[in-house]
Structure 1
Amino acid sequence: MYPQQVHEYLKGFFAENECPILGEENHSLTVQLTVDIDKRIMNRPFYWQYIEATNSEPNPAQVTFITDQTAMTGNLFGEVIHYGSPRLNQLFHATGELGAYVQLFEKVDHAMGQVILTPWLGVNFKVSYCSDRTKEMMYSFGINLLTGVIKENFHESIYASDYDSEPAENVFHVQYIIKPVRALERLNAAVESIIEKDDHSWAIEAQKRWQRDQRVLDYFYEDVENKPECYEIERKALEEQYESKIKIDIINGGLFYLF
């Protein structure tokens, strides 16, 4: 998961949870948290217990997240956040708790009169290439539920628009033809196609490192006819460490009615 992908994920998360973005650079994001999000991600249980016990005025945190240290110029104080960091894992967990799926209607100008909105299924995927080393990628896809057209970088294409949870009075939203469950299958296939075309030399290199460490292990036990239990434990540990796996996870998604 690249720094820009982390950056876009943070923007989407905080926007969806009504946390104002107070400042933004291409490598950082300053956010005013709400009470709810502060409780979920800032690890301040004793502070909130005191506030609630004394009925005091809450003061949720204002945080600067640094999403790309390599792009920084000058001194900036903030929390570095990257894939695998505890804070980002908290955000992933909070996304699941708060509801990973939404239904939103694009806001349109009432002066436009009657407007027709088209249904899209949008899904953000995380693809993990796992062995003794891990590589993660984020993919955002949308599929038109009338035509079946698939759009890449879907999150980026719709982020700048405004949305409501209910359609406006001058809006007519077309019901989908392609069922979301079928559309999701098509998006899964699109992600799998990307994986299939990708460079998988990482798995070959992991296999080589596995064989090297296995030879070292076998060397220490080469004169032992009946291998002890510790040998099997170490051999199994090598298998778990180096075995190549590809995981596809859905981070979040939703049904979007777009103009």
Structure 2
Amino acid sequence: MYAEEIHDYLKSFFKETDCEVLHDEGHLLTVQLTIDIDKKIMNRPFYWQYIEATNSTPNPARLTLITNRTKVDNPLMGEVIHFGSGRLNQIFKATKELGSFVKMYQQVSNETGKQQTLTPYFCVNYKVSYYCDQTKEKLYSLGINLMNGEIEDNFHEFVSQLNLAPYQPDGSFCLQYIIKPTRALERLDVMIQSIIQNDDHSWAEEAKKRWIKEQEVLDYFYVGVEEKPESYQIEKKGLEERFNPRIKVEIINGGLFYIK
């Protein structure tokens, strides 16, 4: 499920940034990057400095990303990408830089001559990161109907199947939303907090158990030492930073979608 979400997200990202998708197997994606996207996600500042200084012909990278390595015989065919991977975080960062909010319209035909009514939805894509000595990240896409307040999960997966464009199609009418976007964001924030609260938090308890064991080992080396040295306090603080469970919620991007 998560691998599919990542794959769909990558396809949408490269499509919106005009990067040509050369090969798509559903678990492996090969794309020809544009100059701008190469600069944002490939970590080649010295290469681009040289190209610009010498006025040489640029050669943006061709990238092959494996979103589900269990379906690939040879993992060396490309770069494995997953939640928490550096490349995916770079793409998230590029998404924020290029535009954190979009306004899109479903392109509906008007062959019958009847006016097509489009309903407003407010969407937010969240990244939830679970931190301890191990890291787990999840991506949630929530959309709320601004007319009746119904919330749809997996909203990105839904709208990615639609024909969308940044302009209102001819012969269509956009309903004026009843729920304001600011209020919609508040409701989606409550929803994501509820999802987190109802999630399995056994990982946090397991991290605390490992923390206690590591603390016991540290204390063993200082048995009988009444006044602990600075090195002990530093190591103790390091264990806390490493094992203390914590959760971080980030908004990747969002948008207002008018759909049929």
Q: TM-score, normalised by structure 1?
A: 0.91
Paired residue for 2:21?
Answer: 21
After TM superposition, the structure 1 stretch with the greater mean CA deviation from structure 2, 30-39 or 249-258, is: 30-39
Corresponding letter in the other structure for 1:207: K
Three-state SS of the structure 1 residue aligned to 2:82 is coil
Q: Within 5 A, what are the aligned runs for 1:65-214?
A: 65-73=65-73, 77-113=77-113, 114-214=115-215
Pick closer, same or farther for the CA change 1:213–1:76 going to 2, 3 Å. Answer: closer
Corresponding letter in the other structure for 2:139: M
Counterpart-to-counterpart distance in 2, 1:159 and 1:2? 16
Write the deviation string for residues 104-156 of structure 1: whole angstroms up to 9, x where unpaired: 11111142432111110111111112111111111111100111011111011
Unaligned runs of at least 5 residues, structure 2 = none
Corresponding letter in the other structure for 1:168: P
Q: Is structure 2 residue 67 aligned with structure 1 residue 62?
A: no
Counterpart-to-counterpart distance in 1, 2:49 and 2:215? 52
Contact 2:122 2:181 in 1 (8 A): yes
Pick closer, same or farther for the CA change 1:102–1:205 going to 2, 3 Å. Answer: same
Counterpart-to-counterpart distance in 2, 1:36 and 1:249? 24
Alpha-carbon distance, 1:74 to partner = 5.9
After TM superposition, the structure 1 stretch with the greater mean CA deviation from structure 2, 220-229 or 31-40, is: 31-40
Contact 2:84 2:136 in 1 (8 A): no
Pick closer, same or farther for the CA change 1:132–1:256 going to 2, 3 Å. Answer: same
After TM superposition, the structure 1 stretch with the greater mean CA deviation from structure 2, 231-240 or 50-59, is: 50-59
Pick closer, same or farther for the CA change 1:212–1:16 going to 2, 3 Å. Answer: same
Three-state SS of the structure 2 residue aligned to 1:231 is helix
Contact 2:84 2:137 in 1 (8 A): no
Write the deviation string for residues 140-198 of structure 1: whole angstroms up to 9, x where unpaired: 11100111011111011110212221212322211211111211121122222222222
Query: What is the count of residue pairs matched by the alignment?
Result: 259
Contact 2:141 2:156 in 1 (8 A): yes
Three-state SS of the structure 1 residue aligned to 2:77 is coil
Three-state SS of the structure 2 residue aligned to 1:21 is strand
What is the Cα-based RMSD across aligned positions, in Å?
2.0
Q: Within 5 A, what are the aligned runs for 1:29-44?
A: 29-44=29-44
Three-state SS of the structure 1 residue aligned to 2:219 is helix
Unaligned runs of at least 5 residues, structure 1 = none
Q: Within 5 A, what are the aligned runs for 1:43-54?
A: 43-53=43-53
Alpha-carbon distance, 1:4 to partner = 2.4
Corresponding letter in the other structure for 1:216: V
Using the aligned pairs only, state the percent identity: 58
After TM superposition, the structure 1 stretch with the greater mean CA deviation from structure 2, 79-88 or 141-150, is: 79-88
Three-state SS of the structure 1 residue aligned to 2:200 is coil
Q: Is structure 2 residue 1 aligned with structure 1 residue 7?
A: no
Alpha-carbon distance, 1:28 to partner = 0.5
After TM superposition, the structure 1 stretch with the greater mean CA deviation from structure 2, 137-146 or 16-25, is: 16-25
Alpha-carbon distance, 1:50 to partner = 4.8
